[in-house]
Structure 1
Amino acid sequence: MFRRAFLSSGVVSRVCLLGRTRSLFTMQLKNKEFQALFTDGLKRIAELFKENNFELRIAGGAVRDLLNGKQPQDVDFATTATPDQMKNLFQAAGIRMINNKGEKHGTITARLHEQNFEVTTLRIDVLTDGRHAEVEFTTDWEKDAERRDLTINSMFLGLDGTLYDYFDGYGDLKNRKVRFVGNAAQRIQEDYLRILRYFRFYGRVAKEPENHEPETLKAIKDNAKGLGAISGERIWVELKKILTGSHAAHLVTLMYDLNVAPYIGLPINGNLEELKRVWMNAQHLSAKPVTILSALFRGQDDVNTLDLRLKISKEEKNLGLFLVKYRRDLVKDTNEVDCLKPYRDFVIDSREPDSLVRVCELLRYQGEEQLLAQMKTWSIPRFPVSGHDLRKIGISSGKEIGTMLQTLRDLWKKSSYSMDKEELLSLVKRD
């Protein structure tokens, strides 16, 4: 996972500030992913901050991605400039600002050369309630890093390629270790959603499924009930990412062990053995999060309970209900030459527009990789006979037409949908 991407070795410096000694690890990053960030828009933004004597660095997840040799999808920036100072310098330069709903938390978004640049003032959380924070702006990069959740998310990257790492995030990333910044319980109590963020990043970073620090697990267990006050929508965003990452079955089991499950809508008596089996079979089949999660459910009531807590989408809820209902009943028939026949017949008989998508998810749930590959390339055939065709050959009774259409449809299905209109109509008995 970790790629060597540097031209210079790291340096640890210790600086004494107000009687406090702090360590700062720095090194120079010069990989192609970093160089690719420097569009005309970023060059202009960088010049503007430099001209006005404000520091500007890349922050958070983008730094982690760049250190891993990945091109970041989103790049956030941090600065010593206040929101008012940013607005003044952007206005003076004729740069448009958009979506400034985050201004009270220090975020200003500039729009330049068809690209958005989200820049946030360095800050300290002065008051938190486990969900929201009141912030105070600062020019101290370490203080901003200290308020972040995980060490691997607390690093900054200067636009000259210098990495600024106050809490050994680089070392943790190299060693594929996930740790909270400073005291785990304190970080969690600032925002209880960080419990799920810990699990999410563990699934993205850690190599082994059970390499957790005991004090981290204790902090999670002691504070699990705090998740009860977090909105279902925020929880679902994180849970979906956990379910599609590595070690998902282990992490969900851990949620039960640490008493997290009851506060995030998971069933009290979740079927963990089924979850482990399904995840093992489906982890390489790009299964949807609900597909994996449905293995926990023992009945459709569990799906409804989850929906009440997490406000999942209608599509997600319907998929969960479908999987719980058909995972045992709709299975391949090993006595048939065509093992896909039960699934194809289901799609043919279904009136739901997304039945094919749901059946493909069922095949992922069941771990039927070969059948899934065949199903994905299958074009749904159209039944060739209509009521109008029957009327043309003399059948006028509506009831008789309905019965005959069903009979012909059954014959067509038995032929693996190969019989055409003429063949089917030739079997119709006329008085």
Structure 2
Amino acid sequence: MDAMPTATEILAANNDAVTAATRCLDRIAAREEAVRAWAYLDPAAALKTAVALDAGPRGALHGVPIGVKDVILTRDMPTRYNSPIHDEPATSADAGCVAVLRAAGALMLGKTETVEFAATGTKAPTRNPHALDHTPGGSSSGSAAAVADGHVPIALATQTGGSIIRPASYCGIWGIKPTWGLVSNEGAKSFAPSLDTIGWYARSADDLSLILDRFDPEPARSATLAGARIGIARTPYWAEAGPATRDAIARTEQALRNAGAVIEEVALPDDEWSDIARVHDLVMHAEGGAAFLAADVTGGDGLHANMRAMVSARTASNRQRLVEAYDKAAAWRRAFDALAGGYDAILTPSTVAEAPRGLAATGDYLFNGMWTLLHVPCVNVPGCIAANGLPVGVTITGPRFADRRVLAMAAAIGALLSG
């Protein structure tokens, strides 16, 4: 089968929604049995919606098929969260992000597989398209695999730990975790509200920008690498990086130097930042205990034991630790904004290594959680390959709400790596 078009290519060709949807559905029919990216798909309903789109005015995203992670509400499709306690009919409202994209003419094609509640528990059945016996990562497993395998050009995802950037790296695609709060979480399952972030996957930086246009009032921009000041943040956890990740950072650093960028090591004071992963996890699990309380008291025996444990851990003795964690996070955010503001971009690892074999675990988010806690924008840039042939990405980040600058620099770096 020939290469599936990107969203940018679909719009440039002035394709109708039915043509775009049909091409995606044909690809899914050929590959879904192997990849298992979809939690819900109704081809007839999708084509009916495409016909209606073509009969109306053309929006900025006319007919672009989009996959929706199955923790994000859709008015015309069920949302089941990969949980035995949810078998809901179609909802009566869209999540905020879905409503915004529909208003621009996008076609919500179906719901993609997720780890239970985008948290913990039951894993998605999804496989990595690059090696079917390897995980695609999680929790946004189906969204990443669907984009990587050409089922859709765009898919919505969420991140509370590393659930956007890690699968993007494992699946060799572009992924963006915007600044926390840039995209409303209305209508998406809450896990840790001070961390939860909605983002998306694509097969090009231009496609990431197309969707960002709907949410960020700042105009798109371009970037030049010659003379750009790039900081490398190896983080306090660099010792855990595997050979593929070390090689990806080294290759990117050398390519940037060859392009005329000025490279500097970003020193995060270890005595202050060494426990940032622990602080992230403390906040995530404490807020998760509140988020899953209702499911715990109403879901019978259906709620997974891991989430029940979060609820059980909601004790008074943990509250002071949580206050201290919030205070540390606030101080770290100010400090990183000031530090990163002196650079055009910060380069950092996306994952500990390439995708591990097996589907029982979705990989380590050690190199993601700190950036989620800091609320900063992150873009996974594909283009590097591990010794076993699997993809591994690098992350470009920067200060809060510098999403446009971060994406522009990531696009320039991506072009460099693919050249």
Settle same-fold status: TM greater than 0.5.
no
TM-score (ref. length: structure 2): 0.23
**Larger Rg, first or second structure (1 or 2):** 1
Q: Which has the larger helix fraction? A: 1
Q: TM-score scaled to structure 1, two decimals?
A: 0.22
